[in-house]
Structure 1
Amino acid sequence: MAGHSKWSNIKRKKGVNDAKKSKIFTKLVKEITVAARSGGAEPELNPRLRLAIQNAKGANMPKEAILRAISKAGGNDVAAYHEVTYEGYGSHGVAIMVVCMTDKMIRTVANVRAIFAKYGGSLEKSGSITFLFDYKGVFTIPTADIKDLDDFTLGLIDAGAEALENDGASTHVICAVEDFGKVQKQLEAVAVAPIAAGLQYIPHTLVQVNDAALLKLIKLIDALKDDDDVQMVYHNIDIQPEQEALWE
């Protein structure tokens, strides 16, 4: 279904093992540390840090680990990280956006290119596939936390939300990049904590593939996510209802 496909980028797989969880925490620590170093260690005064902490809590990162990451930002041994986005194609013309945070871009681009090549894809030049995605602010919240849908929706629209999309257990609040802070403050005002939030590439042109192709694409996406420099991976696969078990 299109709804599942659109949000499958942020849907967590069930039964995440310790190794996977460790990698997730490593990426979150990197974002917290960079946010604290660039904007200060006070979450109330640093929206990026506040968001990073919120995402860490949504991933069940221990409070002690979050505090250590913030404290680490004050050290002299923190690498100078740069955020860079790579664009590529998987098999069957599937578009893939790879958001990285790296202290050595030569290493990162070489790794990303090698992963694409290994699984039948190709790294493309910047700007090749961005037209297939919209860059939006997205807040994912548990649907059960919404007590009064009408009031909740009206408040968010006043704050700049463009749409609310429900996929069952989760509701996704979409807004323009420039309205991200206002929507974040509105959610805080009504005491609704997102399980994930950030700027995302949302596909508006989807591609259907058969089961064999999907399994190959999953291997490509998982390999990209496993790279230490990769923070997020977005794609435009139109996953059909009967294929959801493969994606899990």
Structure 2
Amino acid sequence: MTDIASHRGGAKIWPENSRLAFRNSAVLPVDFIEFDIHRSRDGVLLVHHDPLLGRTASGSGAVGEMDWAELQAVELIGTDDETVPNFDEILDILEPSGIRLRIELKTRQGGGRYPGIEAQVVARLRERRLLDRTTFTSFDLPTLAELLRLVPDRPTIWLVADKLLASPTRDLRKLCREARAAGVREIAIRIAQAQDGDGEACRGEAVTLGYYGAHDEPAIRKAFSDGVSAFTTDRPDIAIAVRREICG
């Protein structure tokens, strides 16, 4: 059965990447909880999606250019005085659940990588004895290649950016070959970009296919119908209900 990943803790139910979202997601019968990692200027790993403040957190500026002392006081929009959480705080919430972690390593504002962030994340997960529960994802293929150099046995998923599947040059098989060349054996594409035959194309290149962006019931039903490995969703509650219906 296709796995459900609660995206940013269930971002259309609770404020994304908030402690509230992760506490509530951790009691749901989902297979993964997905969240995003950036790093502060002084080296603290933090859970936040955008490279900039302003959309989900108050203030402005690039998170990678701010120290943790400043970031830890930044309020999350839509919460009861929650602030930006660090990596350990979220691991503290999720560890007792036993749910697998789906961690997306982000890049800096402008697209550059945080030097050494892969080793830092791996080391922290190993210290917390959570590495064996973790799947890594990224839109940046070199990030995944570095993770595989560090931990060859960990599952990795290349998130394929929309522009790489844009017509008229759409070539999913070519993208699968690029993933395999980097050692990555699973890709995920936005469900709105999925086409008939994509699963067969990926299987032909020995690559597993998943979806992201399945945020409403029709998309969720399509993900299950297509039999992909997993999908991320902002509405894990709908996904759970649909799976229960399918499974009887």
TM-score, normalised relative to structure 2: 0.32
TM-score, normalised relative to structure 1: 0.32
- Answer 1 or 2: which has greater strand percent: 1
- Answer 1 or 2: which has greater helix percent: 1
Highest RCO, 1 vs 2 (Cα 8 Å, sep ≥ 6): 1
